[in-house]
Amino acid sequence: EDEDAEEAGGDLAERFLRLEQEQQEQLRALLPFGAPVSAVYEPLGYAWAPHRHFVRRYLRSPKRVLFLGMNPGPFGMAQTGVPFGEAWHVREWLGVRGAVGKPDAEHPKRPVLGLSCRRSEVS
């Protein structure tokens, strides 16, 4: 049932996902970060599966408003790949699923636990 609904807006969702991937490639082509930056989290890379599931599920028709986030919080999108999405809400309320990997350089104080993360964003 969910898959049929997701496929209904598939073309729009797929175009959006392609645009995100193109933008991510452009960002990666910029000069790499150096000191004092030691960890860069790119949730659209390591948490692509739940992000893709979210977009395919909820981008079924054109929208009047698009919320964009610039700085993914350590217990929100950095964990789940879903904008403004702490793990419990993404998993239980939105029903989003998918494997989450690890960033290339993970900071020891900000481990990525994916959809099993129990911490919440304070913002």
Number of helices (H), then strands (E), belonging to the chain: the values are 6, 0
Place of tokens 């993914």: 72
In this prediction, residue 10 carries a pLDDT of 76
The reply to whether 121 falls in a domain is: no
In this prediction, residue 72 carries a pLDDT of 73
The reply to whether 53 falls in a domain is: yes
The reply to whether 30 falls in a domain is: yes
The reply to whether 112 falls in a domain is: yes
Q: How many residues does the chain have?
A: 123
What is the model's pTM? 0.85
* Token pair recorded at residue 105: 């350089």
Boundaries of domain holding 80: 2-116
| C-alpha angle 24-111-119 in degrees, rounded to nearest 5 | 105
Positions of the chain with pLDDT under 50: 1, 4-5, 8
CATH number of residue 110's parent domain: 3.40.470.10
The predicted-structure confidence for 72-93, as pLDDT tens digits, reads as follows 788 999 999 998 889 999 999 9
**Count of the separate structural domains present in the chain:** 1
The reply to whether 123 falls in a domain is: no
